[in-house]
Amino acid sequence: MLAVIAPGQGAQKPGFLTPWLDLPGAESRLRWWSALAGVDLVHLGTEADADEIKDTARTQPLLVAAALLAGGHLPLHDVALTAGHSVGELGAAALAGVLPAEAAITLAAVRGREMAAACGLEPTGMAAVLGGEPDEVLAAIESYGLSAANHNGAGQIVAAGAADKLAKFIAEKPVGNRVMALQVAGAFHTPYMATAEKALGVVAAGITPADPGRILLSDLDGAAVSHGREVLQRLVRQVTAPVRWDLCMRTMVDLGVTAVIELPPAGSLTNLIKRELKDSGLPEIVTLRTPDDLPAARDLIARHGTPPGHGPAPRFRVVVSPGAGTFEPVSELTEGDSIGAGDLIGHVTTRQGPLDVAAHGAGVLTEWLADHNHPVAPGQPLARIGGQL
């Protein structure tokens, strides 16, 4: 199985789109998307310096445009799975067929502008915590009145919140090997972005999404989401919710992903995959940085992709554990049973007590991924629920 993944804010580099403009139709496509986004994507991708493309209002549509531009030169009908980090989810959703390219660019522009505006309401920021035990890191972040905005895996959790609390956290370095301030405008993926979430939701309400044509993972919980309306709701919710890229990587492992292509500006997500999965078997990787990398990407798809004409693609959700403990499935549920949205499928017994595990949506219990009294970690897949597209 092959996955195509799209990076998020922070991956951009000055001039990274320059070689892509040599492809037929690339510049005219970017000019059209620029009109939708209200920013000059050609200039931003070729001539702008690092400070200019660090602006959230400019960076977010630029990254989505880059993913769509490069993805349009791949045989996507053979790609089984797409996923994106933060704003990269918009690109992944478009490549999965949920959104037209124009809608993805428009939403990215609104998202970027509104998040930039939210950052101006009060001083906030973010800092990366590298190393340390995840539970200890999360407890320390919470003890300083901060939020864990990104769970990136590979020993990296990002803390976010009020600037004064963040400064104290960075100075005291309570956990981890390093605590490093990030050069961002504010506390993304926290309640500080509430105004941006509301504004994005108003625009998103006018879009009619399609159901994904391939597996599409969500940053909210690493689940494979199969209904377009739910994808759109999750994309809006993600503005204030933590990015769970760690859970997306776990789901990729569970699904048996054997190869990964990272779209431009490539490198950040595949570096996380290399560090996170080094002990469990690395997939074959192509970082798609320039058009010169397209032949290698197409070869990877030819060898690891899903050939067309083999019947309908599976549509399912992966239900994951809400905490660390032991899993107890509902005794009367067996594989093949029908399940309704919100139905209880089991619970996880933790030190703080039992946590209910419910289905995200209706479907068929296709496979248990954890057994009775099985020890589970937060985000660990417990069951597949789905049917056919």
Average pLDDT over residues 242-269: 93
Q: Is the per-residue pLDDT at 388 higher than 60?
A: no
Tokens representing 228 are: 């377009």
* Burial group, residue 299, by CB count within 10 angstroms (0-12, 13-18, 19+): exposed
Tell which wins on pLDDT, 134 or 189. Answer: 189
Q: Would you state the pLDDT for residue 287?
A: 97
Average pLDDT over residues 93-107: 96
Q: Is the per-residue pLDDT at 364 higher than 80?
A: yes
Q: Would you state the pLDDT for residue 311?
A: 39
Q: Is the per-residue pLDDT at 45 higher than 70?
A: yes
Is 85 one of the annotated active-site residues of the chain? no
Q: How many helices (H) and strands (E) does the chain have?
A: 12, 17
**190 touches 160 (CB < 8 A):** yes
Average pLDDT over residues 368-373: 86
Element (H, E) at 383: strand 381-388
pLDDT tens digits, residue range 130-146?
998 888 999 999 999 99
Q: Is the per-residue pLDDT at 177 higher than 80?
A: no
Q: Would you state the pLDDT for residue 387?
A: 56
Is 331 one of the annotated active-site residues of the chain? no
Q: Is the per-residue pLDDT at 167 higher than 90?
A: yes
Ordered by where they begin, the domains of the chain are 2-119+191-304 (3.40.366.10), 124-181 (3.30.70.250), 314-388 (2.40.50.100)
- Catalytic residue, candidates 189, 227, 304, 347: 189
- Catalytic residue, candidates 34, 85, 86, 347: 86
Average pLDDT over residues 215-220: 92
Provide the b/e sequence for 212-243 (b: ≥16 CB within 10 Å): bbbbbbbbbbbbbbbbbebbbbbbbebbbbbb
pLDDT tens digits, residue range 69-82?
999 999 998 999 99
Averaged confidence pLDDT in the chain: 90
In 120-244, which residue ranges form alpha helices assigned H by DSSP? 134-143, 163-172, 194-204, 228-237
The set of residues, in sequence order, having a beta carbon less than 8 Å from that of 164 and lying 6+ positions away, is 123
Pick the closest to residue 12 from 69, 61, 71, 84 (CA basis). Answer: 61
Least confident of 35-49, 108-122, 367-381: 367-381
Q: Is the per-residue pLDDT at 309 higher than 70?
A: no
**288 touches 262 (CB < 8 A):** yes
In eight-state DSSP terms, residue 242 is P
